[in-house]
Structure 1
Protein backbone atom coordinates (compact mmCIF):
# COMPACT_ATOMS: atom_id res chain seq x y z
CA UNK A 1 0.00 0.00 0.00
CA UNK A 2 1.29 3.46 -0.96
CA UNK A 3 -0.14 6.66 0.52
CA UNK A 4 0.50 10.18 -0.77
CA UNK A 5 -0.07 13.25 1.42
CA UNK A 6 -0.11 16.64 -0.35
CA UNK A 7 -0.34 19.66 1.94
CA UNK A 8 1.72 22.81 2.33
CA UNK A 9 1.47 22.66 6.13
CA UNK A 10 4.12 20.37 7.61
CA UNK A 11 2.05 19.76 10.75
CA UNK A 12 -0.84 18.38 8.70
CA UNK A 13 1.43 16.26 6.50
CA UNK A 14 3.30 14.74 9.41
CA UNK A 15 0.17 14.27 11.49
CA UNK A 16 -1.63 12.28 8.80
CA UNK A 17 1.56 10.36 8.00
CA UNK A 18 1.93 9.39 11.66
CA UNK A 19 -1.63 8.09 11.79
CA UNK A 20 -1.24 6.13 8.56
CA UNK A 21 1.95 4.49 9.84
CA UNK A 22 0.37 3.66 13.20
CA UNK A 23 -2.59 1.93 11.49
CA UNK A 24 -0.66 0.34 8.60
CA UNK A 25 3.05 0.15 9.53
CA UNK A 26 3.81 -1.56 6.22
CA UNK A 27 2.46 1.34 4.15
CA UNK A 28 4.78 3.41 1.99
CA UNK A 29 4.14 7.09 2.75
CA UNK A 30 5.02 9.89 0.32
CA UNK A 31 4.90 13.57 1.28
CA UNK A 32 4.60 16.65 -0.94
CA UNK A 33 4.06 20.35 -0.16
CA UNK A 34 2.92 21.47 -3.62
CA UNK A 35 0.52 20.20 -6.28
CA UNK A 36 3.34 19.77 -8.81
CA UNK A 37 5.41 17.67 -6.40
CA UNK A 38 2.36 15.57 -5.53
CA UNK A 39 1.51 14.97 -9.17
CA UNK A 40 5.09 13.96 -9.92
CA UNK A 41 4.95 11.35 -7.14
CA UNK A 42 1.55 10.16 -8.40
CA UNK A 43 3.08 9.71 -11.87
CA UNK A 44 6.15 7.83 -10.69
CA UNK A 45 4.64 5.69 -7.93
CA UNK A 46 1.66 3.37 -7.68
CA UNK A 47 -0.40 5.36 -5.17
CA UNK A 48 -3.43 3.70 -3.55
CA UNK A 49 -4.60 6.55 -1.31
CA UNK A 50 -3.97 10.29 -1.54
CA UNK A 51 -4.74 13.01 1.01
CA UNK A 52 -5.01 16.28 -0.90
CA UNK A 53 -5.26 19.85 0.39
CA UNK A 54 -7.47 22.15 -1.69
CA UNK A 55 -5.41 25.27 -0.89
CA UNK A 56 -1.99 24.69 -2.41
CA UNK A 57 0.55 27.44 -3.25
CA UNK A 58 1.10 26.48 -6.89
CA UNK A 59 -2.28 25.25 -8.13
CA UNK A 60 -5.94 24.73 -7.32
CA UNK A 61 -6.54 21.60 -5.31
CA UNK A 62 -9.50 20.85 -7.58
CA UNK A 63 -7.19 20.89 -10.61
CA UNK A 64 -4.79 18.58 -8.79
CA UNK A 65 -7.67 16.27 -7.87
CA UNK A 66 -8.80 16.10 -11.47
CA UNK A 67 -5.27 15.39 -12.68
CA UNK A 68 -4.73 12.66 -10.10
CA UNK A 69 -7.98 10.89 -10.95
CA UNK A 70 -7.24 11.20 -14.66
CA UNK A 71 -3.87 9.58 -14.03
CA UNK A 72 -5.18 6.80 -11.79
CA UNK A 73 -8.95 6.34 -11.34
CA UNK A 74 -8.34 3.56 -8.80
CA UNK A 75 -6.58 6.00 -6.46
CA UNK A 76 -8.81 6.86 -3.49
CA UNK A 77 -8.47 10.62 -2.95
CA UNK A 78 -9.33 12.19 0.41
CA UNK A 79 -9.71 15.96 0.24
CA UNK A 80 -8.38 17.82 3.29
CA UNK A 81 -9.53 21.42 3.51
CA UNK A 82 -10.31 24.35 5.78
CA UNK A 83 -13.32 24.94 3.52
CA UNK A 84 -16.00 22.50 4.60
CA UNK A 85 -19.14 24.14 3.24
CA UNK A 86 -21.57 21.85 1.42
CA UNK A 87 -20.90 23.20 -2.13
CA UNK A 88 -17.14 22.68 -1.73
CA UNK A 89 -17.55 19.13 -0.42
CA UNK A 90 -20.06 18.19 -3.11
CA UNK A 91 -17.81 19.61 -5.84
CA UNK A 92 -14.91 17.50 -4.56
CA UNK A 93 -17.08 14.38 -4.54
CA UNK A 94 -18.40 15.06 -8.03
CA UNK A 95 -14.80 15.37 -9.26
CA UNK A 96 -13.89 11.95 -7.88
CA UNK A 97 -12.93 12.39 -4.21
CA UNK A 98 -14.05 9.47 -2.06
CA UNK A 99 -13.84 11.21 1.33
CA UNK A 100 -13.46 14.69 2.83
CA UNK A 101 -11.67 15.76 6.01
CA UNK A 102 -12.17 19.29 7.39
CA UNK A 103 -9.03 20.81 8.90
CA UNK A 104 -11.11 21.67 11.95
CA UNK A 105 -11.19 17.95 12.79
CA UNK A 106 -9.25 16.86 15.86
CA UNK A 107 -6.65 14.08 15.86
CA UNK A 108 -9.12 11.39 16.94
CA UNK A 109 -11.51 12.33 14.14
CA UNK A 110 -8.74 12.27 11.55
CA UNK A 111 -7.57 8.89 12.83
CA UNK A 112 -11.12 7.58 12.47
CA UNK A 113 -11.21 8.80 8.85
CA UNK A 114 -7.91 7.05 8.07
CA UNK A 115 -9.03 3.80 9.72
CA UNK A 116 -12.42 3.87 8.00
CA UNK A 117 -10.78 4.59 4.65
CA UNK A 118 -8.65 1.46 4.94
CA UNK A 119 -11.73 -0.51 6.09
CA UNK A 120 -13.72 0.45 3.00
CA UNK A 121 -15.93 3.06 4.65
CA UNK A 122 -16.61 6.64 3.56
CA UNK A 123 -16.22 9.62 5.90
CA UNK A 124 -17.78 13.01 5.22
CA UNK A 125 -18.33 16.06 7.47
CA UNK A 126 -21.65 16.58 9.26
CA UNK A 127 -22.12 19.81 7.31
CA UNK A 128 -22.84 17.63 4.26
CA UNK A 129 -24.59 14.69 5.89
CA UNK A 130 -26.85 16.51 8.33
CA UNK A 131 -29.27 18.20 5.88
CA UNK A 132 -30.10 14.95 4.09
CA UNK A 133 -30.03 12.94 7.31
CA UNK A 134 -32.92 15.00 8.69
CA UNK A 135 -34.97 13.94 5.68
CA UNK A 136 -34.41 10.25 6.43
CA UNK A 137 -36.74 8.35 8.73
CA UNK A 138 -35.49 7.22 12.10
CA UNK A 139 -36.50 3.66 11.28
CA UNK A 140 -34.35 3.60 8.15
CA UNK A 141 -31.34 5.01 9.99
CA UNK A 142 -31.59 2.41 12.75
CA UNK A 143 -31.42 -0.58 10.40
CA UNK A 144 -28.24 -2.68 10.49
CA UNK A 145 -26.05 -2.15 7.45
CA UNK A 146 -26.77 -5.51 5.87
CA UNK A 147 -30.56 -4.89 6.01
CA UNK A 148 -30.49 -1.48 4.36
CA UNK A 149 -30.09 -2.43 0.71
CA UNK A 150 -30.72 -5.67 -1.11
CA UNK A 151 -27.59 -5.73 -3.27
CA UNK A 152 -25.86 -8.71 -4.84
CA UNK A 153 -22.17 -9.28 -4.20
CA UNK A 154 -21.39 -8.00 -7.70
CA UNK A 155 -23.48 -4.88 -7.10
CA UNK A 156 -21.57 -4.25 -3.87
CA UNK A 157 -18.32 -4.41 -5.86
CA UNK A 158 -19.71 -1.99 -8.45
CA UNK A 159 -20.87 0.36 -5.67
CA UNK A 160 -17.42 0.26 -4.05
CA UNK A 161 -15.76 1.25 -7.33
CA UNK A 162 -18.44 3.86 -8.00
CA UNK A 163 -17.67 5.41 -4.61
CA UNK A 164 -14.00 5.55 -5.62
CA UNK A 165 -15.06 7.78 -8.51
CA UNK A 166 -14.48 5.29 -11.33
CA UNK A 167 -16.25 5.65 -14.65
CA UNK A 168 -18.41 2.82 -16.00
CA UNK A 169 -15.64 1.99 -18.45
CA UNK A 170 -13.05 1.65 -15.68
CA UNK A 171 -15.42 -0.37 -13.47
CA UNK A 172 -15.99 -2.75 -16.36
CA UNK A 173 -12.25 -3.11 -16.90
CA UNK A 174 -11.56 -3.66 -13.19
CA UNK A 175 -14.28 -6.33 -12.83
CA UNK A 176 -13.66 -7.86 -16.26
CA UNK A 177 -17.25 -7.36 -17.42
CA UNK A 178 -18.75 -5.39 -20.30
CA UNK A 179 -19.65 -1.73 -19.86
CA UNK A 180 -23.33 -2.30 -20.65
CA UNK A 181 -23.52 -4.70 -17.69
CA UNK A 182 -22.01 -2.04 -15.43
CA UNK A 183 -24.69 0.42 -16.55
CA UNK A 184 -27.38 -2.09 -15.63
CA UNK A 185 -25.79 -2.64 -12.21
CA UNK A 186 -25.45 1.11 -11.55
CA UNK A 187 -29.10 1.73 -12.44
CA UNK A 188 -30.20 -1.11 -10.14
CA UNK A 189 -27.98 0.17 -7.31
CA UNK A 190 -29.30 3.73 -7.51
CA UNK A 191 -32.86 2.44 -7.66
CA UNK A 192 -32.35 0.19 -4.62
CA UNK A 193 -30.70 3.02 -2.67
CA UNK A 194 -33.48 5.42 -3.72
CA UNK A 195 -31.04 8.03 -5.03
CA UNK A 196 -30.64 9.65 -8.44
CA UNK A 197 -26.89 10.26 -8.78
CA UNK A 198 -23.54 8.72 -7.92
CA UNK A 199 -22.76 11.57 -5.51
CA UNK A 200 -26.01 10.96 -3.65
CA UNK A 201 -25.09 7.28 -3.43
CA UNK A 202 -21.73 8.16 -1.90
CA UNK A 203 -23.45 10.43 0.63
CA UNK A 204 -25.83 7.64 1.58
CA UNK A 205 -22.96 5.17 2.02
CA UNK A 206 -21.20 7.64 4.31
CA UNK A 207 -24.35 8.47 6.27
CA UNK A 208 -25.08 4.84 7.06
CA UNK A 209 -21.47 3.84 7.75
CA UNK A 210 -21.60 0.96 5.27
CA UNK A 211 -18.45 -1.09 4.69
CA UNK A 212 -17.76 -1.85 1.03
CA UNK A 213 -15.31 -4.26 -0.64
CA UNK A 214 -11.77 -2.88 -0.92
CA UNK A 215 -9.58 -3.18 -4.01
Structure 2
Protein backbone atom coordinates (compact mmCIF):
# COMPACT_ATOMS: atom_id res chain seq x y z
CA UNK A 1 0.00 0.00 0.00
CA UNK A 2 1.37 3.43 -0.89
CA UNK A 3 1.90 6.14 1.71
CA UNK A 4 -0.80 8.31 0.14
CA UNK A 5 -3.34 5.50 0.19
CA UNK A 6 -2.54 4.70 3.82
CA UNK A 7 -3.03 8.32 4.86
CA UNK A 8 -6.58 8.24 3.55
CA UNK A 9 -7.63 5.44 5.89
CA UNK A 10 -7.90 5.07 9.65
CA UNK A 11 -4.54 4.60 11.31
CA UNK A 12 -3.85 2.08 14.06
CA UNK A 13 -1.40 3.06 16.79
CA UNK A 14 0.85 0.00 17.08
CA UNK A 15 3.26 -0.92 19.84
CA UNK A 16 6.08 -3.39 19.14
CA UNK A 17 7.11 -5.48 22.13
CA UNK A 18 10.29 -7.00 20.82
CA UNK A 19 13.68 -7.45 22.48
CA UNK A 20 15.37 -8.52 19.24
CA UNK A 21 16.61 -5.25 17.68
CA UNK A 22 16.79 -6.73 14.17
CA UNK A 23 13.22 -8.02 14.31
CA UNK A 24 12.04 -4.73 15.81
CA UNK A 25 13.71 -2.72 13.05
CA UNK A 26 12.40 -5.09 10.38
CA UNK A 27 8.81 -4.85 11.60
CA UNK A 28 9.01 -1.07 11.91
CA UNK A 29 10.35 -0.78 8.36
CA UNK A 30 7.71 -3.18 7.04
CA UNK A 31 4.86 -1.25 8.63
CA UNK A 32 6.07 2.15 7.41
CA UNK A 33 3.54 3.81 5.08
CA UNK A 34 0.78 1.38 6.11
CA UNK A 35 -2.22 1.87 8.36
CA UNK A 36 -0.10 0.74 11.33
CA UNK A 37 1.64 3.71 12.97
CA UNK A 38 4.44 2.30 15.11
CA UNK A 39 5.05 4.05 18.43
CA UNK A 40 8.64 4.88 19.37
CA UNK A 41 7.90 4.21 23.03
CA UNK A 42 9.59 1.29 24.77
CA UNK A 43 7.37 -1.19 26.60
CA UNK A 44 7.35 -0.57 30.35
CA UNK A 45 5.44 -2.99 32.58
CA UNK A 46 5.25 -0.41 35.37
CA UNK A 47 3.30 2.23 33.43
CA UNK A 48 -0.15 2.13 31.81
CA UNK A 49 0.20 2.84 28.11
CA UNK A 50 -2.42 5.57 28.08
CA UNK A 51 -0.27 7.51 30.57
CA UNK A 52 2.83 7.86 28.44
CA UNK A 53 1.41 7.51 24.93
CA UNK A 54 -1.44 9.95 25.39
CA UNK A 55 -3.81 7.64 23.57
CA UNK A 56 -4.93 4.02 23.56
CA UNK A 57 -2.89 1.67 21.36
CA UNK A 58 -5.01 -0.27 18.88
CA UNK A 59 -2.54 -3.12 18.36
CA UNK A 60 0.31 -4.79 20.20
CA UNK A 61 2.73 -6.99 18.24
CA UNK A 62 4.58 -9.28 20.63
CA UNK A 63 7.77 -11.15 19.80
CA UNK A 64 7.11 -14.73 20.97
CA UNK A 65 10.47 -16.16 19.94
CA UNK A 66 11.93 -16.11 23.44
CA UNK A 67 10.50 -17.46 26.67
CA UNK A 68 6.88 -18.51 26.14
CA UNK A 69 6.23 -17.91 29.81
CA UNK A 70 7.54 -14.35 29.58
CA UNK A 71 5.49 -13.67 26.42
CA UNK A 72 2.31 -14.95 28.05
CA UNK A 73 2.98 -12.85 31.16
CA UNK A 74 3.25 -9.72 29.01
CA UNK A 75 0.11 -10.60 27.04
CA UNK A 76 -1.89 -11.20 30.21
CA UNK A 77 -0.74 -7.81 31.48
CA UNK A 78 -1.73 -6.13 28.22
CA UNK A 79 -5.21 -7.65 28.27
CA UNK A 80 -5.76 -6.37 31.81
CA UNK A 81 -4.57 -2.83 31.11
CA UNK A 82 -5.61 -2.43 27.47
CA UNK A 83 -8.80 -4.43 27.16
CA UNK A 84 -9.79 -2.99 23.77
CA UNK A 85 -6.43 -3.46 22.05
CA UNK A 86 -5.77 -6.34 19.68
CA UNK A 87 -2.74 -8.57 20.24
CA UNK A 88 -0.72 -10.45 17.61
CA UNK A 89 2.19 -12.78 18.36
CA UNK A 90 5.02 -13.16 15.84
CA UNK A 91 7.69 -15.86 15.88
CA UNK A 92 9.85 -18.06 13.67
CA UNK A 93 7.64 -20.98 14.74
CA UNK A 94 4.96 -21.67 17.35
CA UNK A 95 4.64 -24.53 19.80
CA UNK A 96 1.11 -25.90 19.88
CA UNK A 97 1.01 -25.61 23.70
CA UNK A 98 1.89 -21.91 23.45
CA UNK A 99 -0.89 -21.42 20.91
CA UNK A 100 -3.47 -23.01 23.21
CA UNK A 101 -2.33 -20.89 26.15
CA UNK A 102 -2.07 -17.82 23.95
CA UNK A 103 -5.64 -18.16 22.71
CA UNK A 104 -6.81 -18.44 26.33
CA UNK A 105 -4.73 -15.36 27.21
CA UNK A 106 -6.42 -13.34 24.46
CA UNK A 107 -4.04 -13.40 21.50
CA UNK A 108 -5.98 -12.56 18.33
CA UNK A 109 -3.41 -13.61 15.75
CA UNK A 110 -0.31 -15.75 15.29
CA UNK A 111 2.01 -14.76 12.43
CA UNK A 112 5.20 -16.41 11.23
CA UNK A 113 8.19 -14.16 10.59
CA UNK A 114 8.93 -16.19 7.44
CA UNK A 115 5.66 -15.08 5.84
CA UNK A 116 5.61 -12.82 2.82
CA UNK A 117 5.43 -9.16 4.04
CA UNK A 118 2.11 -8.65 2.27
CA UNK A 119 0.71 -11.71 4.05
CA UNK A 120 1.69 -10.24 7.42
CA UNK A 121 0.08 -6.88 6.68
CA UNK A 122 -3.12 -8.52 5.42
CA UNK A 123 -3.19 -10.69 8.53
CA UNK A 124 -2.86 -7.63 10.76
CA UNK A 125 -5.67 -5.90 8.85
CA UNK A 126 -7.88 -8.95 9.31
CA UNK A 127 -7.19 -8.93 13.05
CA UNK A 128 -8.13 -5.24 13.23
CA UNK A 129 -11.39 -6.09 11.41
CA UNK A 130 -12.25 -8.39 14.28
CA UNK A 131 -10.93 -11.62 12.82
CA UNK A 132 -8.24 -14.05 13.95
CA UNK A 133 -5.26 -15.58 12.16
CA UNK A 134 -3.46 -18.88 12.63
CA UNK A 135 -0.87 -20.58 10.37
CA UNK A 136 -2.48 -23.50 8.56
CA UNK A 137 -0.04 -26.03 10.04
CA UNK A 138 -1.09 -25.03 13.54
CA UNK A 139 -4.76 -25.12 12.57
CA UNK A 140 -4.28 -28.71 11.39
CA UNK A 141 -2.55 -29.62 14.65
CA UNK A 142 -5.45 -28.21 16.65
CA UNK A 143 -7.94 -30.12 14.50
CA UNK A 144 -5.94 -33.30 15.00
CA UNK A 145 -6.06 -32.82 18.76
CA UNK A 146 -9.85 -32.72 18.79
CA UNK A 147 -10.16 -35.78 16.58
CA UNK A 148 -10.65 -34.17 13.18
CA UNK A 149 -7.57 -35.81 11.73
CA UNK A 150 -7.50 -36.14 7.95
CA UNK A 151 -5.21 -37.79 5.43
CA UNK A 152 -3.32 -35.53 2.99
CA UNK A 153 -5.62 -36.46 0.08
CA UNK A 154 -8.64 -35.73 2.23
CA UNK A 155 -7.20 -32.35 3.23
CA UNK A 156 -6.78 -31.47 -0.45
CA UNK A 157 -10.34 -32.51 -1.21
CA UNK A 158 -11.72 -30.52 1.72
CA UNK A 159 -9.78 -27.42 0.71
CA UNK A 160 -11.26 -27.58 -2.79
CA UNK A 161 -14.88 -28.54 -2.18
CA UNK A 162 -15.71 -27.38 1.30
CA UNK A 163 -18.39 -25.17 2.34
CA UNK A 164 -19.89 -22.39 0.43
CA UNK A 165 -23.48 -21.59 -0.27
CA UNK A 166 -23.24 -22.41 -3.94
CA UNK A 167 -26.98 -22.03 -4.42
CA UNK A 168 -26.73 -18.35 -3.55
CA UNK A 169 -23.21 -17.33 -4.52
CA UNK A 170 -22.29 -19.96 -7.14
CA UNK A 171 -18.63 -20.12 -6.15
CA UNK A 172 -16.73 -22.83 -7.97
CA UNK A 173 -14.46 -25.23 -6.11
CA UNK A 174 -11.44 -23.31 -7.41
CA UNK A 175 -12.88 -20.00 -6.21
CA UNK A 176 -13.58 -21.54 -2.79
CA UNK A 177 -9.97 -22.72 -2.66
CA UNK A 178 -8.69 -19.25 -3.57
CA UNK A 179 -11.00 -17.68 -1.00
CA UNK A 180 -9.46 -19.90 1.66
CA UNK A 181 -6.05 -18.60 0.64
CA UNK A 182 -7.35 -15.03 0.91
CA UNK A 183 -8.57 -15.84 4.44
CA UNK A 184 -4.98 -16.70 5.33
CA UNK A 185 -3.80 -13.35 3.95
CA UNK A 186 -1.95 -14.81 0.99
CA UNK A 187 -1.30 -12.40 -1.93
CA UNK A 188 -2.09 -13.32 -5.54
CA UNK A 189 1.47 -14.31 -6.42
CA UNK A 190 1.62 -16.77 -3.51
CA UNK A 191 -1.76 -18.26 -4.45
CA UNK A 192 -0.69 -18.55 -8.09
CA UNK A 193 2.50 -20.34 -7.15
CA UNK A 194 0.63 -22.70 -4.82
CA UNK A 195 -2.00 -23.58 -7.44
CA UNK A 196 0.48 -23.58 -10.33
CA UNK A 197 -1.45 -21.06 -12.42
CA UNK A 198 -0.69 -17.59 -13.78
CA UNK A 199 -1.10 -14.65 -11.40
CA UNK A 200 -3.40 -13.03 -13.97
CA UNK A 201 -5.72 -16.04 -13.63
CA UNK A 202 -5.87 -15.56 -9.87
CA UNK A 203 -6.75 -11.89 -10.36
CA UNK A 204 -9.67 -12.87 -12.58
CA UNK A 205 -10.88 -15.38 -9.96
CA UNK A 206 -10.55 -12.81 -7.16
CA UNK A 207 -12.66 -10.29 -9.07
CA UNK A 208 -15.30 -12.97 -9.61
CA UNK A 209 -15.24 -13.90 -5.91
CA UNK A 210 -15.71 -10.28 -4.81
CA UNK A 211 -18.63 -9.90 -7.20
CA UNK A 212 -20.32 -13.16 -6.19
CA UNK A 213 -20.16 -12.60 -2.44
CA UNK A 214 -21.01 -8.91 -2.76
CA UNK A 215 -17.95 -7.30 -1.15
CA UNK A 216 -15.56 -4.54 -2.21
CA UNK A 217 -12.14 -5.88 -1.26
CA UNK A 218 -10.10 -8.87 -0.10
CA UNK A 219 -10.39 -8.07 3.60
CA UNK A 220 -14.18 -8.01 3.38
CA UNK A 221 -14.07 -11.25 1.40
CA UNK A 222 -12.00 -12.86 4.16
CA UNK A 223 -14.50 -11.69 6.77
CA UNK A 224 -17.39 -13.07 4.69
CA UNK A 225 -15.55 -16.36 4.31
CA UNK A 226 -14.95 -16.66 8.05
CA UNK A 227 -18.71 -16.64 8.54
CA UNK A 228 -19.85 -18.59 5.49
CA UNK A 229 -17.08 -20.73 4.05
CA UNK A 230 -17.12 -23.21 6.93
CA UNK A 231 -20.85 -23.54 7.39
CA UNK A 232 -22.41 -24.06 4.00
CA UNK A 233 -22.99 -27.38 2.18
CA UNK A 234 -20.19 -29.13 0.33
CA UNK A 235 -20.05 -28.98 -3.44
CA UNK A 236 -19.34 -31.46 -6.17
CA UNK A 237 -19.26 -28.87 -8.92
CA UNK A 238 -16.40 -28.65 -11.42
CA UNK A 239 -13.39 -26.42 -11.00
CA UNK A 240 -13.03 -23.39 -13.20
Residue 101 and residue 32 in structure 1: after superposition, are their counterparts in 2 closer, same or farther (change >3 A)?
Answer: farther
Residue 140 and residue 112 in structure 1: after superposition, are their counterparts in 2 closer, same or farther (change >3 A)?
Answer: same
Q: 2:26 aligns with which of 9, 12, 15?
A: 15
Please tell me whether the aligned partners of residues 101 and 125 of structure 1 are also in contact (alpha carbons under 8 angstroms). yes
Q: 1:69 aligns with which of 61, 74, 79?
A: 79
Please tell me whether the aligned partners of residues 32 and 38 of structure 1 are also in contact (alpha carbons under 8 angstroms). no
Deviations 1:9-64 (A, max 9, x none): 2332233333433321xx5421466xx5376473533111000112458x811100
User: Where do 1:111-126 residues align within 5 Å?
Assistant: 111-126=121-136
Q: 1:141 aligns with which of 150, 154, 163?
A: 163
Q: Rg bigger for which structure?
A: 2
Please tell me whether the aligned partners of residues 108 and 131 of structure 2 are also in contact (alpha carbons under 8 angstroms). no
* Residues matched between the structures, number: 147
In the alignment, the residues of structure 2 paired with residue 31 and residue 110 of structure 1 have an alpha-carbon distance, to the nearest angstrom, of: 20
In the alignment, the residues of structure 1 paired with residue 123 and residue 71 of structure 2 have an alpha-carbon distance, to the nearest angstrom, of: 20
Secondary structure of 1:62 counterpart: helix
Please tell me whether the aligned partners of residues 13 and 39 of structure 2 are also in contact (alpha carbons under 8 angstroms). yes
TM-score, normalized by length of structure 2? 0.49
Aligned residue in 1 for 2:105 = 95
In the alignment, the residues of structure 2 paired with residue 39 and residue 210 of structure 1 have an alpha-carbon distance, to the nearest angstrom, of: 39
Aligned residue in 2 for 1:42 = 49
Deviations 1:171-206 (A, max 9, x none): xxxxxxxxxxxxxxxxxxxxxxxxxxxxxxxxxx99
1:30 pairs with 2:39:
yes
In the alignment, the residues of structure 2 paired with residue 76 and residue 61 of structure 1 have an alpha-carbon distance, to the nearest angstrom, of: 15
Aligned residue in 2 for 1:128 = 138
Please tell me whether the aligned partners of residues 101 and 110 of structure 1 are also in contact (alpha carbons under 8 angstroms). yes
* 1:76 CA drift (Å): 0.3
TM-score, normalized by length of structure 1? 0.54
In the alignment, the residues of structure 2 paired with residue 2 and residue 81 of structure 1 have an alpha-carbon distance, to the nearest angstrom, of: 21
Aligned residue in 2 for 1:78 = 88
In the alignment, the residues of structure 1 paired with residue 114 and residue 46 of structure 2 have an alpha-carbon distance, to the nearest angstrom, of: 26
* 1:113 CA drift (Å): 1.6
Please tell me whether the aligned partners of residues 39 and 64 of structure 1 are also in contact (alpha carbons under 8 angstroms). no
Aligned residue in 2 for 1:166 = none
The root-mean-square deviation of aligned C-alpha atoms, in Å, is: 3.5
Deviations 1:111-140 (A, max 9, x none): 222232334332111122124276696654
Q: Give 5+ residue unaligned stretches, structure 1.
A: 148-204
